[in-house]
Amino acid sequence: MIVLGPTPLTVEEVVAVARERAPVRVADDLDAAMAPARDVVAAALAENRTVYGVTTGFGALATTRVAPELAEQMQYALVQSHAAGMGPDIDAEVVRAMQLLKARTLAAGASGARPELVRGIAVLLNAGITPAVPELGSLGASGDLAPLAHAAIVLLGNGWVRDDADGGGRRDAADALRDAGIEPLQLQAKEGLALINGTEGMLAYLCLALADLDVLVRTADVACALSVEALRGTDAPFAQRIQDLRPHPGQRASAANLRRLLAGSPIVASHRGADHQAVQDAYSLRCAPQVHGACRDVVEWVRRVVHTELASVTDNPVVFEGGDVVSTGNFHGQPLAFAADFATIAVADLAAIAERRIDRLMDPSRSDGLPPFLAPQAGINSGLMLAHYTAAALVNRLRGHAAPASCDTISTSAGQEDHVSMGWNACVSLRRAVLDAMRVTAIELVCAAEAVELRGIAPAAATGAAVACLRERVPRMDVDRFLAPDLVAAEGLVRGGAVLRALPEPLQ
């Protein structure tokens, strides 16, 4: 049970609710935590003070005065008009993470909203009612206005929800709430703005990405170790003393994983010191800890950004107990935009080096005795030739994902919002990049496992366990067959973490 209150959530808690549909409840002290700021808003309204978003319009309309008796109507209108997204709906787990994070922001007690909003979001999460949120519309400054509005409008009995019975289509939120016996909420002053202003959409993407990246970077080490064995490479460059000379944390971790994975490898031992062993392996083998490790270091930097954001309030304006209601810039998504773009660049290169190893496995002039394209009867059979093509196509697309969104800005709201982060688009690209990199890693596992078995010498215990895991779903390919189902199965093993769970001991 995940508790919604002033205490920041963890990435693990966000993933549990978003992906595993863990139930949530509100903290016992929720009302007490939110009451002081709500009282400030009520007083400002009663005194007819000029307060942005309470007695004024929004954005470029901030100088337009709104009578206190129209405050509630204005909040309702805001949510309606800002639910203006287009395109396909984002995945349900992203929406659920976004809802949870918005509820936590409100519960922090600096938004001036009532506890009823937090309880309303919790009810939707526990009932499995997920707003249908179109992908296009957020600029990542003033937060994720359009996506959050599409989530908020469902609380009011309007908009769309996902219809899982219809294959992820849409149905009217009013019907879904009625069928579930849930009463729509009535917004009060400041509450529409509090529901749609903030970085929770970008943060949702990044929390889920971190969970997937933790699987990806470790599985990439497994695939690399198999390729080292398959290509008769050496484990000498992964020695501890070499890493000590350049002690980047990610490099040290990746090298330690490769040493553990290759420990006791009969394949590596079979050619250690032999006359035919290359003086130096290709960079895609020898420099794997440096490249994989650099990606890991980026992931850890992203983790620090996310940890800070999870403990933040990104609403505007914010409300202090002393009576101040202050306009801020905390909703600007630049920290998250940079994090998403940098992570995508790192992931693209992690896939690129994996593709280079796949390429070597295909080429008999560089694979040290393996048949062309790993086909025992090359010519009659094409082997895994087209699996490499798919990896190359994925890497090309990854380089497109890696084009940074965060260095662009387009002025909006009549010039009031004249610099935006484009962080939402950066986060969407990161999600796609992680999935594509997992596909490249799956292809490397398929190809390297095939090559290792063609060697006729047992692999290390750890890499052998990875091959055994793969063989439960993907048989060895002695003659050509319909290959796409094998690649899909391997992708599922990577994404689900099955390859890592099969190892005799966990990796760093």
Residues annotated as part of the active site: 52
131-158 CB burial, b ≥16 within 10 A, e <16 = bbbbbebbbbbbbbbbbbbbbbbbbbbb
CB 331 within 8 A of CB 198: yes
Helix (H) or strand (E) holding 170: strand 169-172
- Which residues are CB-contacts of 489 (< 8 A; sequence separation ≥ 6)? 473, 474
Q: What is the phi/psi pair of residue 134, to 5°?
A: -65, 150
CA–CA distance, 133 with 93 (Å, rounded to integer): 11
The structure tokens listed for 4 are 């919604």
Give just the sign of the alpha carbon dihedral 383, 386, 387, 391.
positive
The structure tokens listed for 22 are 């863990």
Q: How far apart are the first and last CA of the chain?
A: 28
CA–CA distance, 154 with 173 (Å, rounded to integer): 6
CA separation (Å) from 350 to 211, 212, 213, 444?
17, 14, 11, 12
Residue 294: other Cβ atoms inside 10 A: 18
Determine how β-strand 2-4 pairs with β-strand 24-26: parallel
What count of residues does the chain have? 508
Nearest in space to 49 (alpha carbons), one of 71, 72, 28, 29: 71
The structure tokens listed for 494 are 């990577």
- Which residues are CB-contacts of 12 (< 8 A; sequence separation ≥ 6)? 211
CA–CA distance, 313 with 8 (Å, rounded to integer): 10
CA separation (Å) from 325 to 2, 37, 39, 49?
30, 9, 11, 10
| Bridge partners of residue 134, in order along the sequence | 89
**C-alpha radius of gyration, the chain, whole number:** 26
The structure tokens listed for 289 are 């800890």
The structure tokens listed for 97 are 């993470």
